[in-house]
Amino acid sequence: MAALLRGSRCLVGKCHNHVNAVQVSIRSMASKTQVGFIGLGNMGNPMAKNLIKHGYPVMVSDVFPESCKELQELGAQILDSPADVADKADRIITMLPSSPNVIDVYTGPNGILKKVKKGSLLIDSSTIDPAVSKEMAVATEKLGAVFMDAPVSGGVGAATSGKLTFMVGGLEEEFNAAKELLSCMGANVVYCGQVGTGQAAKICNNMLLAIGMIGTAETMNLGIRLGLDPKLLAKILNMSSGRCWSSDTYNPVPGVMEGVPAANNYQGGFGTTLMAKDLGLAQNTATNTKTPVPLGSLAHQIYRMMCARGYASKDFSSVFQFLREEEGQ
C-alpha cells in the first residue's frame, strides 16, 4: 500500500514525467529493491546491518571508506559518494553526526541531490536542527523527491538489536513507505507530523535524558558518600518514585549494571560530545521560541564542561565520573 501511495502521489502531483513516476512506483512495490545507506558510524553501522538481515540489498557510502569494510563482507555494495548512491537507489537512509554533515551530504558537490531520481524517498535519521530538516525537504521537493526526518532514540544497543524508536516527520501519505524500512531497524516508528517534528521530538527527549542522567549521577554519588551500597541504592530507586531510564536501564555507576558503558570505562554508547550537541540544539530552539529551559541550560553547560575536561569521547553517563572528580578539586 505504501508503494502504491508513493506511486499515485507522483502521478497526480507535480511529476511531469509519468513514465519515470510509474517506474518508481514499480520499484517501490518490489519491497526488497536496493536501499542506500550513508553514514556508518556507531549507529549507522548496526542499522545498515539490520537492513541486510531483513533481506534488503544495501548500498553504502561513508566519508571514511574503512568503515564500509564490515558491511561489504556482509554483502553490501560500496559506493564512492552520496551522489553515486542516489544514482542507483530510490530509497536512501542517512545517519550523520550534525547539521553541517547533513547539508553537505544532501546538497554538496557530490551530494544526494546531484543525482536524486524523481519519486525517491530520502529518510534522514540524524539528529539536527529542525530548520535544517525543513531546508532539505524544500530542496528535495523541488527535484520531485520526498524527504522525511526520522531521528532515533535508544542508543547503540537498540541499534544493534533492532529496537530503536524512530520519530518521523514528513508527508503523512509517505509514512507507510518509510515505516516499511524503519521497522527493520526499530521496535517503534511514530509519526510526529510535518517535516521537522521528528527532530523536535528527539531534541525534547534528549534534553530530558540529559537532565535525568545528571540527576541520577548526583543521587547515586550522594548516596555512596552517605555510606549506601550503590547496587542497593539503585534497587531502592528502581522500586520507588525516583525510578527513571538512567537508573534502571543505563545506570551511570560502575559495578551496578552489566552491559552498559559504565561497566566498560564509559566506552561505546552515546558520546558526551553528541549529547552536548543535542543540548545545543535544544537551547537554540528554546531561544527561538522564547521557552524557559533552566535545567536544560544547566545540563548543556555541564556537558560542554565535560567535553573540555577530556570526556568528549566517553559515554554521556560518564557525568557520574565527572562529578566524582569535581569533588577532589
Q: Same structural domain for residues 185 and 84?
A: yes
Q: Same structural domain for residues 128 and 239?
A: no
Tell me the three cell numbers of residue 86: 542516489
Q: Same structural domain for residues 146 and 223?
A: no
pLDDT (average), residues 281-289: 95
In a domain, 27, yes or no: no
In a domain, 20, yes or no: no
pLDDT (average), residues 231-247: 98
* CATH at 103: 3.40.50.720
Q: CA-CA distance, 261 to 315, in Å (whole number)? A: 6
Return the closest-CA partner of residue 128 out of 154, 102, 146, 148.
102
pLDDT at 328: 60
Q: Same structural domain for residues 130 and 90?
A: yes
Q: Same structural domain for residues 146 and 213?
A: no
* CATH at 316: 1.10.1040.10
pLDDT (average), residues 267-290: 94
Domain boundary among 132, 160, 194: 194
Q: Same structural domain for residues 189 and 56?
A: yes
Q: Same structural domain for residues 46 and 175?
A: yes
What contacts 27, CB < 8 A, 6 or more positions away? 33, 90
**Band (24; pLDDT cuts 50, 70, 90):** very low
pLDDT at 15: 44
**pLDDT of 121-151, one tens digit each?**
999 999 999 999 999 999 999 999 999 999 9
pLDDT at 18: 43
Q: Same structural domain for residues 275 and 174?
A: no
Q: Same structural domain for residues 87 and 50?
A: yes
**pLDDT of 43-57, one tens digit each?**
999 999 999 999 999
pLDDT at 5: 43
In a domain, 274, yes or no: yes
Q: Same structural domain for residues 132 and 242?
A: no
Residue 268 lies in domain: 200-323
Q: Same structural domain for residues 157 and 222?
A: no
Domain boundary among 172, 194, 216: 194
Number of domains in the chain: 2
In a domain, 17, yes or no: no
Instruction: Give Dmax (Cα) for the chain.
Output: 73
**pLDDT of 159-193, one tens digit each?**
999 999 999 999 999 999 999 999 999 999 999 99
CA 317 to chain centre: 18
Q: CA-CA distance, 229 to 291, in Å (whole number)? A: 39
Residue 26 has pLDDT above 60, yes or no: no
In a domain, 7, yes or no: no
Return the closest-CA partner of residue 235 out of 214, 225, 220.
220
In a domain, 217, yes or no: yes
pLDDT (average), residues 19-40: 64
Catalytic sites, residue numbers: 202
In a domain, 215, yes or no: yes
Mean pLDDT for the chain overall: 91
In a domain, 24, yes or no: no
| 177 contacts 2 by C-beta, under 8 angstroms | yes
HEC letters along the chain:
CHHHHHHHHHHHCCCCCHHHHHHHHHHHHCCCCCEEEECCCCCHHHHHHHHHHCCCCEEEECCCHHHHHHHHHCCCEECCCHHHHHHHCCEEEECCCCHHHHHHHHHCCCCHHHCCCCCCEEEECCCCCHHHHHHHHHHHHHCCCEEEECCEECHHHHHHHCCEEEEEECCHHHHHHHHHHHCCCEEEEEEEECCCHHHHHHHHHHHHHHHHHHHHHHHHHHHHHCCCCHHHHHHHHHCCCCCCHHHHCCCCCCCCCCCCHHHHCCCCCCEHHHHHHHHHHHHHHHHHCCCCCHHHHHHHHHHHHHHHHHHCCCEHHHHHHHHHHHHCC
Domain boundary among 163, 194, 225: 194
Kindly calculate the radius of gyration of the chain based on its CA atoms and give it in whole angstroms: 21
Q: Same structural domain for residues 94 and 230?
A: no
Of all residues in the chain, the percent with pLDDT exceeding 90 is 85
